[in-house]
A and B are shown apart, each in its own frame.
Chain A
Amino acid sequence: MSVTGAGAAATPRYTKKDFESDQDVRWCPGCGDYAILSAVQKSMPDLGIPRENIVFVSGIGCSSRFPYYMNTYGFHTIHGRAPAIATGLRVARPDLKVFVVTGDGDGLSIGGNHTLHVLRRNVDVTILLFNNRIYGLTKGQYSPTSELGKVTKSTPLGSADRPVNPLAFALGCGATFVARTVDRNIPHLEEMLKRAARHRGTAFVEILQNCNVYNDLTWNVMYDKESKLRYELRLEHGKPLLFGPPDARQAVIMDGVTPKVAPAKDVAERALWVHDERNVNAAKILADLFAPDFPVPIGVLAAIDAPIYEDLLLEQEQRAISERGPGEIARLLTSGDTWKIE
């Protein structure tokens, strides 16, 4: 019933090119999506999954054009509904590897409900959420991740609603795999894609992505060389939460139930916060950290095992069939109370 069941031996040796479709890519020149597309295509051969067993499902938005450019099976659906489409697909076809490509508007606004439920059910899909904090395809309105006071075409005096934090949202929904990466950090992006794709259950990856037309450099804290050096916190399982330039290393520590930043040299080794991907409570604290008061964590925040929706559903089916045999309509029709008219 497992997705990635096909053995590597049976899988052809692919290259990136095998995953490029014949369609012209139609994102704006300079869009962060190009880097993500390239990284995904490049990561695919390493997954060892036959190309025909891979499906990319998307909703609506710039990011959702993604399936057209992948030489796999693909379904570009309607706004916000990709997680629900993917759920039905997995229930029908648990042998397929399913990716959902979405954005901050598609996945957290119009489709927020489906994102919630795919995560709580732990359907075995890999969700790539491109977060550029803007509506690109509709030409520049603010999104549910836009910062408070954001001035856009639809909010000339600044937005009045507080943003949602995708990682905190996912963890709150019971996500079993949550990671963050950045479109301009290709090696890290590829590493996260592969880790997420190999997770059993719903894997949720927030990809900080640049919209150079409507929200250029919104993630400059992760792009600007100096800023990146200062704020990037690489999460690594079993390693302490240390960040910052070598000459001024900082540590994230817990002071009671409150996270704090302190110079690493002042923190005793036993007081260091050692990252544990299996600790979801710790991940929930990490999810809320951001510049300038805190570093920006990237990497895998949480990765735990939990029952998978379609596995449980299909186990019920298998059990029913093995205990009582496959259903027979002729027998069902004549079961229970019947009477004969001569």
Chain B
Amino acid sequence: MSQAATPVTGVKKTQRALNRAVIRFAGDSGDGMQLTGEQFTTETAWAGNDLATLPNFPAEIRAPAGTLFGVSSFQLQFGSQRVYTPGDRLDCLVAMNPAALKVHLSDLKTGGLLIVNTAAFEKRNLDKAGYAANPLDDPALAERYRLHQVDMSGLTHEALKSLPLNAKEKERCKNFFALGLVSWIYTRPLEPTLDWIGKKFAKTATLADANTRVLKAGHAFGETAEIFGEHYQVEAAEMPPGLYRAMTGNRALAWGLLAAAERSAIPVVFGAYPITPASSVLEELALHKRFRIRTIQAEDEIAAVTSAIGAAFGGAVGVTCSSGPGIALKGEAIGLAVTAELPLVIFDIQRAGPSTGMPTKTEQADLMQALYGRNSESPVVVLAPATPGDCFFIAYESVRIAVKYMVPVMVLSDGFLANGSEPWLIPDPATLPPIDVHFRTEREGFFPYLRDPATLARPWVRPGTPGLEHRIGGIEKQDVTGNISYDPENHDHMVRTRAEKVRRVAQEIPPTSIHGPATGDLLVVGWGGTYGAITAAVERAQGEGRSVASIHLRHLNPLPPDLGHILREYRRVLVPEINSGQLVRVLRAEYLVDAVGFNRVRGLPLASDDIHEAITQLCGDQP
């Protein structure tokens, strides 16, 4: 197939309307697939679609070129209706090299659109991908999928032949050829990407010119080449009106803290040690010093949390952030905050484990660690955001609860939420609940562990307050006075008091929102980043006439006060999780319900189809 031939101009292509599409860009780590995906996402957001994204990249910074483990991909689903997940099966796969084809082809729907960069299908790359023969030569491929073989490298070089760039620099532009082409196929506006190019390469006109040319060449190729018979339109989604922006989970966590810093009017000290996939929270916060957020890149995970605790002792909001392995290291210090009864916020951006595990892959297996992963009885409040944008509200809420109850609050995000983005309706910060910080200054009747009767919080005293000098620490202390105490009855009392204080946070939890009938055959209970996959599966089952509802828990400790009642309104309870069954155990233990788990621990988000199948099985064949 000759690709370099001058495209036929003036041919009017058919445009077909779609409700939704799932697209994945896949290539070598050096092929710029993340950027391509992000730009396609921006274009799609501009087009007014709802969307969800799934970046997926190797942990190696520069994985050897052409290898299977060096493949990087970016998937998104967009639609004219609510989109809850990045999608399960692909409508379109762009494979920039043989390895990408090998790793991702099985996810493409039969009859799906398959676009390959033929230039990369040469012997060396085929060998590295483990292909004995060129898969493009197998007629079965074109029978099974709508295969388009495009010499993207050649066409890119052709578009740039008059520019003073070397061959390597030209080759690096080919991802924008793919972006231009797919943008044409799905009728995406190029303006946001052209804007981006203008800003990014403001100082290097040649590169700005090159990327613009290649983007447009890709777009024009789709429009004029004979091979693409049709293209698609996905109408704007019916979304609540307002101003939107794209939001990733980690940025939302960071901005939620900034909102809390502004509202509480006290400094936030954020101690963190770099770890995948949490580091970008630290990096984001370091950009915003104007909010009096003080970031410390600590020497280790323990120093990260203890510096936050030291700051809390000083009357600041202390926050630390890590992923599972780092949270394990922080355990002892979190226990100190529990017994010293200081406000502390801990973000855990969960990743696949144990140990190093798969740092760039997602998982929900730190729930038990959050609830119980410390020595002795050391309860903390545990919250979990449901979507990338929800991370903003959860981060804010974690600070509000921590300072109100003088208690550590752990937030369980995950790699999927951290890097995934969604169109986010920008909230009015004035609608956020107030964060009331009260520092005691009154000497009369002061004791370090004198408690507020409603919250059981002890007074927060800033050092520097005359007359309230006092000492606290990790040793058990007598209630009220705070004096060291080894008295057995006092210890029992303090263990119960610390637990009761966390339980009282239940008074902050709004009534649980039930998606579906208030009573029925099946209740699906989820938490964290599985919200989209569960909701999509439940809505599908509801559409089939099944008596299914779902709830999504944002408060995991304490659990919502109405939860026990809700669970009993359904014949069966299903708990899908990316772990081997953690929330399901908590629910069974706490409420004596016969909840069953649906568990896949693959380092990937749960597939909506799989959850739907589990729902179908539990409900029985008849809707």
For residue B153, CB closer than 8 A to chain A, the reply is no
Q: Are B463 and A317 interface neighbours, CB within 8 A?
A: no
Q: Nearest Cβ in chain A — how far from B71, in angstroms? A: 28
A317–B259 Cα distance when bound, in Å, is: 17
For residue B313, CB closer than 8 A to chain A, the reply is yes
Task: List chain B residues, Cβ under 8 A from A327.
Answer: 258, 261-262, 288, 290-292
Q: Are A57 and B306 interface neighbours, CB within 8 A?
A: no
Q: Are B262 and A328 interface neighbours, CB within 8 A?
A: yes
Number of interface residues of A (CB under 8 A): 60
A81–B462 Cα distance when bound, in Å, is: 21
For residue A74, CB closer than 8 A to chain B, the reply is yes
Which listed segment binds B: A45-53, A271-279, A299-307? A45-53
Q: Are A96 and B314 interface neighbours, CB within 8 A?
A: yes
Which listed segment binds B: A83-91, A126-134, A152-160, A260-268? A83-91
Binary contact readout A324-340 vs B (1 if CB under 8 angstroms, 0 otherwise): 11111110111011111
A21–B481 Cα distance when bound, in Å, is: 14
For residue A39, CB closer than 8 A to chain B, the reply is no
Q: Are A91 and B306 interface neighbours, CB within 8 A?
A: no
Task: List chain B residues, Cβ under 8 A from A51.
Answer: 466, 469
Contact of B290 among A73, A95, A325, A337 (CB under 8 A): A325
Task: List chain A residues, Cβ under 8 A from B316.
Answer: 92-93
Q: Are B299 and A85 interface neighbours, CB within 8 A?
A: no
Give me 24 A-to-B residue pairs in the complex whose CB atoms sit less than 8 angstroms apart, sorted by A's number.
A52-B463, A52-B468, A74-B473, A75-B473, A77-B309, A86-B310, A87-B307, A88-B296, A88-B309, A88-B318, A91-B294, A92-B310, A93-B315, A93-B316, A317-B289, A317-B292, A321-B290, A324-B290, A326-B291, A327-B291, A329-B429, A334-B245, A334-B426, A341-B241
Q: Nearest Cβ in chain A — how far from B296, in angstroms? A: 6
Q: Are A96 and B42 interface neighbours, CB within 8 A?
A: no
Known: A52-B464, A89-B311, A326-B290. A77 touches B473 (CB 8 A): yes
For residue A342, CB closer than 8 A to chain B, the reply is yes
Contact of B310 among A57, A70, A76 (CB under 8 A): A57
Q: Nearest Cβ in chain B — how far from A54, in angstroms? A: 8
Closest B residue, CB atoms, query A340: B243
Task: List chain B residues, Cβ under 8 A from A342.
Answer: 241
Q: Are A53 and B292 interface neighbours, CB within 8 A?
A: no
Contact of A81 among B333, B465, B472, B483 (CB under 8 A): B333
Interface residues of B in 234-252 (CB under 8 A from A): 236, 239-246
Q: Are B242 and A340 interface neighbours, CB within 8 A?
A: yes
Contact of A53 among B255, B426, B464, B484 (CB under 8 A): B464
A87–B318 Cα distance when bound, in Å, is: 12
Q: Are B46 and A339 interface neighbours, CB within 8 A?
A: yes
For residue B142, CB closer than 8 A to chain A, the reply is no
Known: A316-B289, A337-B246. A55 touches B463 (CB 8 A): yes
Known: A85-B309, A88-B309, A316-B289. A338 touches B426 (CB 8 A): yes
Q: Are A78 and B311 interface neighbours, CB within 8 A?
A: no
A84–B466 Cα distance when bound, in Å, is: 25
Q: Are B303 and A87 interface neighbours, CB within 8 A?
A: yes
Q: Are B473 and A67 interface neighbours, CB within 8 A?
A: yes
For residue B528, CB closer than 8 A to chain A, the reply is no
Task: List chain A residues, Cβ under 8 A from B308.
Answer: 88
Q: Are A91 and B262 interface neighbours, CB within 8 A?
A: no
Q: Nearest Cβ in chain B — how far from A124, in angstroms? A: 13
Closest B residue, CB atoms, query A328: B262
- Interface centre among A81, A91, A321, A329, by most B CB within 10 Å? A329
Q: Are B306 and A73 interface neighbours, CB within 8 A?
A: no
Q: Are A85 and B310 interface neighbours, CB within 8 A?
A: yes
Closest A residue, CB atoms, query B474: A78
- Interface centre among B294, B306, B318, B427, by most A CB within 10 Å? B306
Q: Nearest Cβ in chain A — how far from B160, in angstroms? A: 27
Q: Are B472 and A76 interface neighbours, CB within 8 A?
A: yes
Known: A85-B306, A330-B428. 5 other contacts (CB 8 A): A88-B271, A88-B310, A329-B262, A339-B244, A341-B48
Interface residues of B in 447-465 (CB under 8 A from A): 462-465
Task: List chain B residues, Cβ under 8 A from A332.
Answer: 255, 258, 288
Q: Are A114 and B469 interface neighbours, CB within 8 A?
A: no
For residue B336, CB closer than 8 A to chain A, the reply is yes
B binding-site residues for A, Cβ under 8 Å: 42, 45-46, 48, 192, 236, 239-246, 255, 258-259, 261-262, 267, 269, 271, 288-292, 294, 296, 298-300, 302-303, 306-316, 318, 332-333, 335-336, 340, 426-430, 462-475, 483-484
Task: List chain B residues, Cβ under 8 A from A91.
Answer: 269, 294, 296, 307, 311
Q: Nearest Cβ in chain A — how far from B449, in angstroms? A: 15
Task: List chain A residues, Cβ under 8 A from B288.
Answer: 327, 332
Closest A residue, CB atoms, query B396: A329
Q: Are A338 and B255 interface neighbours, CB within 8 A?
A: no
Closest A residue, CB atoms, query B192: A337
A52–B311 Cα distance when bound, in Å, is: 17
For residue A38, CB closer than 8 A to chain B, the reply is no
A302–B292 Cα distance when bound, in Å, is: 35
Contact of B269 among A60, A92, A316 (CB under 8 A): A92
Known: A338-B426, A341-B239. A84 touches B289 (CB 8 A): no
Q: Are B299 and A116 interface neighbours, CB within 8 A?
A: yes
Q: Are B311 and A75 interface neighbours, CB within 8 A?
A: no
Q: Nearest Cβ in chain B — how far from A301, in angstroms? A: 24
For residue A15, CB closer than 8 A to chain B, the reply is no
Q: Nearest Cβ in chain B — how far from A222, in angstroms? A: 31
For residue A228, CB closer than 8 A to chain B, the reply is no
Interface residues of A in 72-123 (CB under 8 A from B): 72-78, 81, 84-93, 95-96, 113-114, 116-117
For residue A243, CB closer than 8 A to chain B, the reply is no
Q: Nearest Cβ in chain B — how far from A4, in angstroms? A: 13
For residue A23, CB closer than 8 A to chain B, the reply is yes
For residue A177, CB closer than 8 A to chain B, the reply is no
For residue A204, CB closer than 8 A to chain B, the reply is no
Q: Are B259 and A21 interface neighbours, CB within 8 A?
A: no
Q: Are A87 and B310 interface neighbours, CB within 8 A?
A: yes
Interface residues of A in 194-252 (CB under 8 A from B): none
For residue A71, CB closer than 8 A to chain B, the reply is yes
Closest A residue, CB atoms, query B47: A339
Q: Are A95 and B464 interface neighbours, CB within 8 A?
A: yes
- Interface centre among B299, B300, B318, by most A CB within 10 Å? B299
For residue A9, CB closer than 8 A to chain B, the reply is no
Contact of A338 among B245, B259, B472 (CB under 8 A): B245
- Interface centre among A70, A92, A338, by most B CB within 10 Å? A92
Binary contact readout A34-66 vs B (1 if CB under 8 angstroms, 0 otherwise): 000000000000000011110101001000000
